[in-house]
Structure 1
Amino acid sequence: MTKIGYARVSTLEQNLDMQLDALKGEGCKQVFTDKVSGVKSSKPNFTKLMEYLRPGDTIVVWKLDRLGRSTVQLIELIEDLKKKGVNLKSLSESIDTTSATGNLFFQFMCILAEHERNIIRERTSAGLQAARARGRRGGRPKGLNERYQLIAPEVREVYEKNTRSTEEIRKMFSIKSQPTLYKILEFAGADVKGFAKKRKGLTK
């Protein structure tokens, strides 16, 4: 079994030293690092880490939020690790999936993943019913990939808080275009037209 560390900070100004010291102290012979926001989907060296992993290896992190800032991101990752036969250890939360307790953690996260999917399905169904009631035809927006479907509830939550412009939301969730953002919101059951009227001062 090989311990492989992963460390991440959000900006170029932040320092990785504390995380690196902790990972080396845990016995990680190799550590991958990124300097990028946790909400961004593109983390170059984390991608390399996932390609490097082999069954039986263990990813070690200082805290779980180094792997992703959202529940959806973490659930996706844990499911991928389970399929690869890779373990996970978080030093701050004392989580170690090489132990019996850690295996229960894996199982719990799988249950949480299914719960998250059910919520998405329920919200989508409610959104479609509301759209039909207003005389609009529903259905899954064409070209909406799985990642966008998974983040849709979080995108809707941020959008409906009305504190960020649509451009800021796109950057936060790495959404490629304005039409795609609206497809995601429609998928999540958001009343896009209704909220758009309230956002004139924020929308760019």
Structure 2
Amino acid sequence: MRKADVVVVWKLDRLSRSLKDLLLTLEKIEEAGAGFQSLTESIDTTTPAGRMMMQIVGSFAEFERAMLRERTRHGLEAARKDGRVGGRRPKLTQQQQKEIVALITSGQKTGADAARLFRVHPSTVVRLLAKHRQGPG
């Protein structure tokens, strides 16, 4: 960044996640002699009013992110109370897991063979066997 350059962003929240970080970034831009412009918030930091507006908009952007984080957390808690679990579905059903453990512990198949048979990565079989060895829990 050189003197008289202008850093342009589409939206302020794309530049920074917190007001503190935003202000540090803007300070570095200012120290380099460059300006800052946000296309959607109409902010120009080359004027005192523009700098003040930047701080106000930055505060609102941080507040909006905090509210989103809180709503997401509450939504996940409500989903857990309803018995829903996040994440993707298991690669193997409980029955398939039992079959793999039985095939390997009986010596009928190796871990690699079982992985190929059930079309999963060998590390999935390794994790399954480790979990089986630990017992319930």
TM-score calculated relative to the size of structure 2: 0.41
- Structure (1/2) with the larger helix percentage: 2
TM-score calculated relative to the size of structure 1: 0.30
Larger Rg: 2
